[in-house]
């Protein structure tokens, strides 16, 4: 894997360079001292992955990521001094195309880099996602439809790269009296999932919080997957987290949640698969559609990365393929129609 480093701190660059070159199969593609140089370098030589700092002169990491994803798209991992302290900018970067974020490794007193393992874990995870996309593999999760025995309704949203911005568009448009529970599965690390939920809540008319083990799905509440385990609806129609399946490139998995809807949710449901790299959620969306559930895929023109929705479209898994500005209205109309029909 050819990895580029974008950082204006020489010590940070050197620590990351050492970490990368200690792993067989990894090499440094190029190094840029700021976002402006990174955009230029990427235009000439697109690497397999960019380690992008956020706070830099000339052009910060958010603007650099936006430019790169628009003109020379490639996977971007935000590497910043503190993910927690820079949470708002991290979410901005993810909105414009960054995949994930991790704190910058620092040289410890022993000579070993503190944070080395966390960085390598993120790189390996993204590498698996890239490989899975290239090989066009898909998850094979068994499903078992459950009859509609409830008047409740569930709105399920799955997203990855560029997802934060897409989710804001939807949440800011959904009515505050929406007669449905909303569950979001976004590829986001548990270390800043609380900040992510708080950030979404600033734009939502509905209350937003992290999903907890044992949560019931109540109308008018937005629950966000908040750990590195998979969010799942169990046999009692409660939300739980579970480790399996272990082989999925990203955790939490959209496919796992979508399939649990079929297995254990007795009410009505609608689902949308939003912008993101890879194929997660496409198989699950297909199973939902085949069992009579209204499904939507975000269209190519409004996706930051047309990967997950594209995979769904290729499987004919979406009832409708819509621009992001139209998705909330379409989902709301379907939910309201369910409500009228059940009266």
Active-site residue, from 103, 160, 204, 237: 160
Cβ proximity of 279 and 133 under 8 Å:
yes
Give catalytic status of residue 253 as yes or no. Answer: no
Tell whether the torsion through CA atoms of 187, 216, 214 and 262 is positive or negative. Answer: negative
Q: State the DSSP H helix or E strand holding residue 126, giving kind and residue range, or none if neither.
A: helix 116-135
Q: How many CB atoms lie within 10 A of CB 69?
A: 21
Active-site residue, from 189, 255, 280, 283: 280
Give catalytic status of residue 103 as yes or no. Answer: no
**Closest of 252, 278, 277 to residue 156, by C-alpha:** 252
Question: For 191, what's the count of Cα atoms within 13 Å in the CB-facing half-sphere?
Answer: 13
**Phi, psi (deg, nearest 5) at residue 104:** -65, 130
Separation CA 36–CA 42 (nearest Å): 10
For the record, the structure tokens of 123 come out as 């790189």
Cβ proximity of 289 and 295 under 8 Å:
yes
Active-site residue, from 53, 133, 187, 204: 187
**Where are the alpha helices (H) located in 153-307, listed in sequence order?**
163-171, 193-201, 254-264, 282-290
- Angle, to 10 degrees, between the axis of helix 163-171 and the axis of helix 193-201? 40
At 257, is the secondary structure helix, strand, or coil? helix
Separation CA 339–CA 341 (nearest Å): 5
Give catalytic status of residue 230 as yes or no. Answer: no
Distances in whole angstroms, Cα of residue 119 to Cα of each of 6, 76, 80, 172? 15, 13, 11, 34
**Closest of 80, 99, 6, 45 to residue 305, by C-alpha:** 99
Question: For 15, what's the count of Cα atoms within 13 Å in the CB-facing half-sphere?
Answer: 23
Separation CA 341–CA 5 (nearest Å): 55
Residues identified as active-site: 160, 187, 280
């Amino acid at each position: 894997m050819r990895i580029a480093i974008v950082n204006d701190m020489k010590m940070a660059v050197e620590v990351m360079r050492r970490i990368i070159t200690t792993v067989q199969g990894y090499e440094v593609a190029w190094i840029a001292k700021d976002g402006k140089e990174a955009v230029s370098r990427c235009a000439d030589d697109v690497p397999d992955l960019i380690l992008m700092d956020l706070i830099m002169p000339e052009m910060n990491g958010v603007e650099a990521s936006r430019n790169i994803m628009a003109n020379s798209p490639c996977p971007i991992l935000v590497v910043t001094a503190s993910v927690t302290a820079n949470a708002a900018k991290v979410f901005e970067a993810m909105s414009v195309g960054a995949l994930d974020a991790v704190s910058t490794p620092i040289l410890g007193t022993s000579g070993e880099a503190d944070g080395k393992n966390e960085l390598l874990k993120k790189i390996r995870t993204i590498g698996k996602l890239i490989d899975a996309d290239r090989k066009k593999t898909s998850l094979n999760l068994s499903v078992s439809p459950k009859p509609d025995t409830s008047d409740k309704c569930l709105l399920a949203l799955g997203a990855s790269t560029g997802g934060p911005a897409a989710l804001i568009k939807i949440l800011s448009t959904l009515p505050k009296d929406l007669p449905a529970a909303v569950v979001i599965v976004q590829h986001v690390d548990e270390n800043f999932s609380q900040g992510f939920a708080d950030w979404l809540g600033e734009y939502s008319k509905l209350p937003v919080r992290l999903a907890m083990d044992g949560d019931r799905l109540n109308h008018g509440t937005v629950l966000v997957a908040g750990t590195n385990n998979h969010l799942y609806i169990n046999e009692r129609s409660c939300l739980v987290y579970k480790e399996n399946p272990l082989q999925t490139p990203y955790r939490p998995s959209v496919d796992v949640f979508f399939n649990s809807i079929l297995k254990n949710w007795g009410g009505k449901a609608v689902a949308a698969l939003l912008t993101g790299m890879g194929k997660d959620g496409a198989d699950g969306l297909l199973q939902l559609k085949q069992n009579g559930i209204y499904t939507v895929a975000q269209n190519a023109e409004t996706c930051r990365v047309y990967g997950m929705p594209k995979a769904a479209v290729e499987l004919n898994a979406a009832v409708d393929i819509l621009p992001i500005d139209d998705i909330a209205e379409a989902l709301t109309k379907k939910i309201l129609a369910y409500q009228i029909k059940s009266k």
